[in-house]
Structure 1
Amino acid sequence: MQQNKLTVEVKGISFANRGAELMLSAVKEQFMRRGIDAHIVVEPNGNYIRRCRYEVWQKPQLILKRVNVLKPLAWLPKSLRRRLGIITDSEIDVVLDASGFSYGDFWPHKVAWDRLAKPIKQLKRRGVPVIVLPQALGPFTHTASAKPFRRILKYADLIFARDAQSLSYARALSCRSDNLFYCPDFTCLVAPQGIPELTPPKNAVCFITNEKMAATAERKQAYLDWMISLVQATLRSGHQAYFVNHGGSADATLAQHIIASVGAPVALLEAENAKQTKWLIGQARVVVGSRYHAVVSALSQRIPVVATSWSHKYQALLNDYESSESLFACDETDAASARLNKLLSDNALYEREQQKLQICAEQQKSLSEAMWQQVFELLEDQKL
């Protein structure tokens, strides 16, 4: 690979939740492990302070009402752009899409167009490798969502679907068979970072909220009732509970509402970065959650979960860790509470669960390592 600094754009990183940060950490670590000096570039979305911690460069792109309001910054002299930490499209050597879950009927079709479908043809004219890292995809039942992703499938060098259902959705659209592969979520490779000054209660249950579970008033109430019941079940069992904020202010507000409803001293913890958040999750006996990467962080650290969801990606994830019996709808409060109580009271069952998760986690990490090997072989072949 070339000795000059490589400029790598990572698309889809919003810093709106810790999952996006974990994916960015995973990308940075893979380049560092291979001794590749890289400028990592993102669009200036989300929290500025969080972006600064990751030492990323910025693209002058912020789409408001289909207009890039930062485009004039690209016209500045290169020396001034460098002082401001700005990288333009013409300076990008590699594009990695780490959207997580942004392509399909759930999302406005303009997201796919603006993020990748529109620029991808020009990127390929310039010889820039475009790689869609493992993520959930689809469904694509509407023409508006299918058309931009069909274009991405046509031009991308590599596309990794994160689960079998996503792979099936993508295959149904694709005119190619040589660039579409399966690989599970790759944040399992990111090691947690301890926080000496912040220690969660021992042998406790960690709860993690997700605002997407409260998209409508009806769903919100069902979700809150489900979470409140499980916190109460935890406390009745003699175990402590704590919340970890894996998202933004909306997730924190949900957690505070649940804590107030329970009326017991339950802490809400928030770490400075995603690796520390992963460590907080790993200190629990059981994790109750509905944030995808929070569930990954638990399972990959051998922590059993009780999960609820809003998308097919959760079922696929739990299948990967042979834990499908731990996924519940919000109207299955009794069954979820029973599963939680079993994990808290039956030590033999708990040990079996941890042994199973250890084997599954090793398999998931091996698949992710193979995916990265494929990515860097492509970059090597293109003499980057």
Structure 2
Amino acid sequence: MIVQLFGAGFDNRGAQLMLWTAAQKLRELHPEVEIVVEAIRSSPSERASYDLRTLFPSLGLPKQKRAVRLASTYDRLSRLLPTKLHRKYGLVRRCDVDAFIDISGYAFGDKWTLLNLRELDARLSVFARKGKPRILLPQMLGPFNEEPKRRAAEKAFSKADLIYARDQTSLECVQALDCGPAEIQLAPDITIFCDAKKTKPPLDGPYASLVPNARMLDKAAGTWGENYMEALVQAGQKIKSYDVQPIVVIHDIGQNDIKLGYELADRLEIPRERVYQPDDALEIKQLLAQGVMTIGSRFHALVSSLSTGVPSIALGWAHKYEALLKDFGLPELCCHHTEGPDCTLKHIDRCMDPDRREQVVQTLQASKKHMRAENERMWSRVSEMLRVRCS
């Protein structure tokens, strides 16, 4: 069985976590499976490190319009590659792929380009014509208030067999569409249940992690604005008052987050050596798990912290943040821009008080236990579809 994973790569640590988790779980359920990805958002060495094969031909950069027009053509072209050659160079012909699974964290909705939905439609169409499984694993979806995106979402989603929304709001957004025969379900983020890579703590004493996100300066420019960095600075200063050292964790490979990280370190008067940007997303999960608290805006950094029992405070730009904290039983720990730059302070006091902190940790652990059952049901349904349709 050959399964294509699409929508995640190594250009973002959250996407890397999703790719790792999905690949490992599929191998656990189907030991014979081969996982294939397109040659975008990753290098040959990165794909090799996860034992991923490369799809031939790849569609090029994900934002190129020609990718939409050429999806079917590329599928036909793949047949021209001789079997001996594609095996020799670790390639998989598009025509040989048995199933398509999208693992985009958040790529479909009014905040994103219409092209994302058109590309999804093009890819799903190729598999739909052959009757091969098309699955969207848990992700944030919507809203679809803009009419062109609403129509494009209906067209694309109606070609899927199975769609998993990651939160109740996303579920309602998709259920409001005409998705034809697609089965629409709810399941938690898959990375909640992946194990961290064991590493030594970066500091000898207790520390709390601050995780900036440059998207807060564009996606949330009209709401958070300048208050965003001020909120992180005030949080870091409050943490210091408890004799806990703030560190800055960068959960992305780009330069924008690291610039914010250095600015935050400078304003908190902590050495830039305490701005950490590990290459491995599983190491970052361990780094966050060893802290006493996480405050930030990278969704999967918050997932990594909450899922390891670390009290976390979110500052976000989309409904996925509030939904995540709600899933973990602590929606009040998601700060709203209307609360002002001091919004984190009362929550830090709560999480640092021994008795109240223990209540928070117990809530996180109980919520994860409940979500584990939902996660297992989701994977069981996915596995059943692959087994029946790809046998």
Q: TM-score, normalised by structure 1?
A: 0.91
Partner of 1:62: 60
Q: Which amino acid aligns with 1:16?
A: D
Identity percentage of aligned residues: 27
Aligned-CA RMSD value:
2.2
Partner of 2:240: 235
Measured against aligned partners, the alpha-carbon deviations of 1:348-376 in whole angstroms (never above 9, x if no partner) come to: 11111111111001111221111000111
Structure 1 residue 226 displacement after superposition:
1.3
Q: Which amino acid aligns with 1:190?
A: C
Q: Which amino acid aligns with 2:266?
A: A
Measured against aligned partners, the alpha-carbon deviations of 1:107-160 in whole angstroms (never above 9, x if no partner) come to: 11111211x212322312212100010000001111221222212321211100
| Aligned partner (choices 6, 11, 18) of residue 13 of structure 2 | 18
Query: Per the alignment, do residues 364 and 338 of structure 1 end up closer, same or farther by CA in structure 2, a change over 3 Å counting?
Result: same
Structure 1 residue 270 displacement after superposition:
2.4
Partner of 1:117: 121
Contact 1:13 1:43 in 2 (8 A): no
**Higher alpha-carbon deviation: 160-169 or 84-93:** 84-93
Q: Which amino acid aligns with 1:270?
A: Q
Partner of 2:95: 90
Q: Which amino acid aligns with 1:22?
A: L
Partner of 1:359: 366
Contact 1:206 1:243 in 2 (8 A): yes
Q: Equivalences for 1:43-62 in 2 at 5 Å?
A: 43-48=38-43, 49-59=45-55, 60-62=58-60
Structure 1 residue 225 displacement after superposition:
1.3
State how far apart, in whole Å, the 2-side matches of 1:181 and 1:201 are.
Answer: 44
Partner of 1:262: 268
Partner of 1:223: 228
Partner SS state of residue 334, structure 1: coil
Query: Per the alignment, do residues 111 and 201 of structure 1 end up closer, same or farther by CA in structure 2, a change over 3 Å counting?
Result: farther
Contact 2:138 2:163 in 1 (8 A): yes
**Is 1:297–2:304 an aligned residue pair?**
yes
| Aligned partner (choices 36, 43, 59) of residue 41 of structure 1 | 36
Structure 1 residue 201 displacement after superposition:
4.6
Partner of 1:3: none
Q: Which amino acid aligns with 2:210?
A: F
**Higher alpha-carbon deviation: 138-147 or 56-65:** 56-65
Contact 1:130 1:158 in 2 (8 A): yes
Contact 1:157 1:179 in 2 (8 A): yes
**Is 1:139–2:138 an aligned residue pair?**
no
Contact 1:285 1:304 in 2 (8 A): yes
Gaps in structure 2 of 5+ consecutive residues: none
**Is 1:160–2:164 an aligned residue pair?**
yes
Measured against aligned partners, the alpha-carbon deviations of 1:268-306 in whole angstroms (never above 9, x if no partner) come to: 122231111111110011100111111111111111111
Q: Which amino acid aligns with 2:18?
A: M
Q: Equivalences for 1:276-287 in 2 at 5 Å?
A: 276-287=283-294
State how far apart, in whole Å, the 1-side matches of 2:42 and 2:269 are.
Answer: 32
State how far apart, in whole Å, the 1-side matches of 2:21 and 2:51 are.
Answer: 14
**Is 1:171–2:158 an aligned residue pair?**
no
State how far apart, in whole Å, the 2-side matches of 1:137 and 1:187 are.
Answer: 17
Contact 2:231 2:343 in 1 (8 A): no
Contact 2:168 2:186 in 1 (8 A): yes
**Higher alpha-carbon deviation: 47-56 or 69-78:** 69-78
Partner of 1:9: 4
Partner SS state of residue 344, structure 2: helix
State how far apart, in whole Å, the 1-side matches of 2:369 and 2:331 are.
Answer: 18
Measured against aligned partners, the alpha-carbon deviations of 1:153-185 in whole angstroms (never above 9, x if no partner) come to: 212111001111111110111244760011111
State how far apart, in whole Å, the 2-side matches of 1:289 and 1:343 are.
Answer: 15
Contact 2:141 2:173 in 1 (8 A): yes
Partner SS state of residue 276, structure 1: helix
Q: TM-score, normalised by structure 2?
A: 0.90
State how far apart, in whole Å, the 1-side matches of 2:332 and 2:283 are.
Answer: 28
Contact 1:202 1:283 in 2 (8 A): no
| Aligned partner (choices 314, 317, 337) of residue 345 of structure 2 | 337
**Higher alpha-carbon deviation: 187-196 or 265-274:** 265-274
Q: Which amino acid aligns with 2:84?
A: S
Measured against aligned partners, the alpha-carbon deviations of 1:14-62 in whole angstroms (never above 9, x if no partner) come to: 3221111111111122122224222211122224243332221222221
Q: Which amino acid aligns with 1:297?
A: S
Contact 2:29 2:383 in 1 (8 A): no
Contact 1:202 1:284 in 2 (8 A): no
Q: Which amino acid aligns with 1:258?
A: L
State how far apart, in whole Å, the 1-side matches of 2:226 and 2:341 are.
Answer: 13
State how far apart, in whole Å, the 1-side matches of 2:132 and 2:244 are.
Answer: 53
Query: Per the alignment, do residues 105 and 187 of structure 1 end up closer, same or farther by CA in structure 2, a change over 3 Å counting?
Result: same
